[in-house]
Amino acid sequence: MRYKLEISYDGTNYSGFQIQPNKDTIQKRLEDAMMHVYRDEIDIVASGRTDAGVSAICQVCHFDTECNVDTRRDVGYLNSILPENIRVLSISEASVDFHARKSAKNKTYIYNFYTGREIPVYDKFATNIGYNLDIEKMKEACRYIQGEHDFTAFCASNTAVVDKVRIVYDIKIIDLGENLYRMEITGNGFLYNMVRIIMGTLVSVGMGKIRPEDIVQIIESKNRANSGKTMPAKGLVLKKVIYSNV
């Protein structure tokens, strides 16, 4: 039997999603909890890994087991074993065709950031840019990022992926008041560090280092050296994974 698993986590103190030797990861915690509940070595496949320090409002996974899974009761059972910063939201039966990564159509990420003076309350979930930013110019820059592009310039240079064409369906910056902002981006897939590099490039625009329309040349250059900094993991949150076009 295949099951779909929805989870939510605060990734701050974890070395990312994926299991690595001698590291505390989300996947390890989940598989340990599964071992406890099902007495079975269950492999959990996520829609994608999240890096160290990255959180998820709703990450989607799948797993296969022949054990007896009670999709309602086991949510509570797993949560009683898991640390409070990892929560199982739901377990449901899935078809064998369902694959948490391969079946994913779109994903939405959030990047929380704030400008100006340091605010400790914001530091819990957002990156402090320090400078004041021209948010209107950043919003203008978003329009050049939207669409289908080869995002090589916005991908960590050490990536093995060959096809770097992705579609960004929507990218926007939402003003949450008092210098706090949220960048929200939805696409059909994201290259390694792509959201963090896009955010860094938007910050370059906001600081006046580059103009919004310069995004066009940066994309065309396919050169990582032309885009902005890779922004810190803090502030990055996987919001949701969409599996159908509904």
Q: Is 60 helix (H, G, I), strand (E, B) or coil?
A: strand
**Contact status, residue 59 vs residue 50, Cβ threshold 8 Å:** yes
Q: For residues 21 and 177, which CB has a smaller minimum distance to its own copies in the complex? A: 177
Q: Give the binding site for its own copies (CB under 8 A).
A: 8-10, 55-57, 84-87, 89-90, 117-125, 174, 176-178, 182, 237, 239-240
Catalytic residue among 51, 64, 134, 214: 51
Q: How far is the CB of 225 from its own copies (least distance, A)?
A: 33
For strands 236-242 and 55-64, give the pairing: parallel
Q: For residues 179 and 201, which CB has a smaller minimum distance to its own copies in the complex? A: 179
- Whether 51 is catalytic: yes
Q: For residues 8 and 188, which CB has a smaller minimum distance to its own copies in the complex? A: 8
CA atoms within a 13 Å half-sphere pointing along the CA-CB vector of 188? 13
Q: How far is the CB of 174 from its own copies (least distance, A)?
A: 8
Q: For residues 114 and 151, which CB has a smaller minimum distance to its own copies in the complex? A: 114
Q: How far is the CB of 131 from its own copies (least distance, A)?
A: 16
Q: How far is the CB of 75 from its own copies (least distance, A)?
A: 9
The span from the CA of 149 to the CA of 104, in Å, is: 19
DSSP 192: T
The span from the CA of 7 to the CA of 232, in Å, is: 23
Q: Please state, in angstroms and as integers, the Cα–Cα distance from residue 31 to each residue in 10, 26, 79, 128, 182, following that order.
A: 17, 9, 13, 34, 32
Q: How crowded is residue 117: how many other Cβ atoms within 10 Å of its Cβ?
A: 9
- Catalytic residues, which ones? 51
